[in-house]
Amino acid sequence: LSAIADVTRLAGVSTATVSRVLSGLDGVSPRLRGRVLRSVDELGYRPNAVARSLRVGATHTLGLVVCDVLNPFFTELARAVEDEAREAGYAVILGNADERPERQDAYVEALLDRRVDGLLISPAVKTSPLIQTAVRRGASIVCVDRTVEGLDVPTVRADGSRSTAELVDHLVGLGHRRIATIAGPQATITGRERLVAFLGALAAHGLEVPEGHVELGSFQQGSGHAAMRRLLTLPERPTAVFAADNLMALGALQALRAAGLRVPDDMALASFDDSPWFELIDPPITAIAQPTAELGRVAVRALLDVLAGRHARSRLLESRLVVRASCGEQVAGHVGAGVRAHAEQELED
């Protein structure tokens, strides 16, 4: 691999001139410019971005640490992030926390060591001393989907409360009274928020949640499977289950299939996070759709704002209920009113 010195030698100019030509600065005579360009071409010279980064103090690289790359929600998010970042001239290094705080922290550290210009994190849990001190030391960080408690950084997420309440209305409207949930980890804001909204909405209908009707999962597939299996052994079985994410819904469905139970007759099922597969299941699965790609794009833009020294707002996008058949016969026109497509409101300012 050739270095700038090879070019200077071949072109008979100084490194300053080579650098100026390649940076597109003017103030270089056409003659020298031509010689530089020809030499660069002949050598196939490409500037070393590592050296450049050290010198200019920026890597034009963003870090993205997600909770679980196997979760389609985060896949789609990552894709949008990568897309938006690329358009702005940034590469992105991806880290997968696998829902484990220590792995998340290891990634945050590795990315910061590599001097990424900014970091996009969907924190595995609500607390992270490491992230706290990183921010205090001046790291540019934006949280997406989830927040870290007491951390003063812009956060981009979708509200889950409202659509969860709509979902409960939908279920109750269809006659369900014993509604269970497979909740996410209560150490995450999304897991917590969805459970609180679920319980609150049931209470608003005067419904109590019996012992054992709140299962705590890990947001991963296996935990959804196990939780549904436990729910099925309950003496007073629920008639409907709300899974707090995509992957747990998948696991729950597998458990229902394995038990030979039919949806929605034996058990209604609804999920947070939509999936293109849901409409192909028989019956199609009712779900709450997040504006996933938009979350990613908005988060990147917020991070770019931070990097540019501009003020970046936190943003709370809307999620929306997509009613299909998995909770029972649909009452015509029942839910339409509450549904707004990805409208958005602000958290702060």
Partner DNA sequence: CTGAAAGCGCTTACAG
- Give me the residues that bind a second copy (CB under 8 A), please: 1, 44, 46-51, 53-54, 59, 61, 69-70, 72, 75-76, 78-79, 82-83, 91-96, 109-115, 133, 137-138, 221, 250, 253-254, 257, 275-277, 279-282
- CB of residue 200 vs DNA: minimum separation in angstroms? 50
- CB of residue 273 vs a second copy: minimum separation in angstroms? 14
Residue closer to DNA (CB basis): 14 or 210: 14
Q: How many CB atoms lie within 10 A of CB 177?
A: 14
The SS3 call for residue 90 is: coil
Interface residues with DNA (CB under 7 A) are 3-5, 12-20, 22-23, 26-29, 31-33, 45, 47-48, 51-52, 54-57
Helices 161-173 and 189-204: angle between axes, nearest 10 degrees: 40
Residue closer to a second copy (CB basis): 93 or 196: 93
Chosen from DNA, a second copy, none, partner binding at 79 (C-beta under 5 to 8 Å by type): a second copy
Chosen from a second copy, DNA, none, partner binding at 91 (C-beta under 5 to 8 Å by type): a second copy
Chosen from a second copy, DNA, none, partner binding at 96 (C-beta under 5 to 8 Å by type): a second copy
- For 97-135, b/e burial (b = at least 16 CB within 10 A) is bebebebbbebbeebbeeebbbbbbbbbbbebebbeebb
**101 preceded by a cis bond (ω within 30 of 0):** no
Chosen from DNA, a second copy, none, partner binding at 233 (C-beta under 5 to 8 Å by type): none
Q: What is the dihedral of CA 196, 202, 207, 212, to 10 degrees?
A: -50
Q: Give the whole-angstrom CA distance, residue 30 versus residue 254.
A: 69
Residue 313: what are its φ and ψ, rounded to 5°? -80, 150
Side-chain-facing half-sphere of 202: CA atoms under 13 Å? 20
Chosen from a second copy, DNA, none, partner binding at 246 (C-beta under 5 to 8 Å by type): none
Residue closer to DNA (CB basis): 15 or 266: 15
Chosen from DNA, a second copy, none, partner binding at 59 (C-beta under 5 to 8 Å by type): a second copy
Chosen from DNA, a second copy, none, partner binding at 20 (C-beta under 5 to 8 Å by type): DNA
Q: Which two tokens stand for residue 176?
A: 């369900």
- CB of residue 17 vs DNA: minimum separation in angstroms? 4
Residue closer to DNA (CB basis): 26 or 41: 26
Do you know the residue count of the chain?
Answer: 349
Residue where the block lists tokens 């009452």: 331
- CB of residue 336 vs DNA: minimum separation in angstroms? 56
Q: Give the whole-angstrom CA distance, residue 118 versus residue 55.
A: 18
Q: Which two tokens stand for residue 116?
A: 């990424």
Residue closer to DNA (CB basis): 3 or 331: 3
- CB of residue 301 vs DNA: minimum separation in angstroms? 24
- CB of residue 140 vs DNA: minimum separation in angstroms? 16
- CB of residue 271 vs a second copy: minimum separation in angstroms? 12
* CA dist list (Å): 288 to 156, 159, 269, 318: 18, 11, 12, 10
Q: Give the whole-angstrom CA distance, residue 179 versus residue 208.
A: 9
Residue closer to DNA (CB basis): 20 or 170: 20
- CB of residue 96 vs a second copy: minimum separation in angstroms? 5
Q: Give the whole-angstrom CA distance, residue 28 versus residue 30.
A: 6
Chosen from DNA, a second copy, none, partner binding at 83 (C-beta under 5 to 8 Å by type): a second copy
